[in-house]
Amino acid sequence: MRKGKVYRNGELVGYIIERDRKNYTFSYDAAWYADPNKPAVSLTLPKTQKEYHSEYLFPFFFNMLSEGVNKRLQSTVLRIDEADHFGLLLATAQADTIGAITVTPDETVKEDE
């Protein structure tokens, strides 16, 4: 299992989890959810207390990844398989993203959990 913390302008929004390559979960942090002034992370992931589940990386997060030559270069430099979308997300979406959203690895979770 791998887990990422999702931030918006440096504030914790929620968590994205990969249990295996066909089992993804996104959930909002309780403090973010409780604040009515805080927006949803995307239109496709409305703000709710429920967990979102998917058999593939959620399109909102998948679209944060590089494509083509840049993706191949990142995969080579970072030594991450090009097909490991979650690994690439955790490695590349920590800073300098196009929008306000960043994703960092949650170091409290071990991969074999």
Tens digits of residue pLDDT in 41-73: 999 999 999 999 999 999 999 999 999 999 999
Report pLDDT for 20: 84
In a domain? residue 13: yes
* pLDDT, tens only, 83-105: 999 999 999 999 878 889 999 99
The parent domain of residue 33 ranges over 2-63+94-105
Give CA 96 to chain center in angstroms. 15
Our CA dihedral for 110, 98, 70, 91, rounded to 10 degrees, sits at -10
Domain count, the chain: 1
Q: Which of 73, 110, 109, 100 is nearest to 88 (CA)?
A: 73
In a domain? residue 82: no
SS3 55: coil
In a domain? residue 14: yes
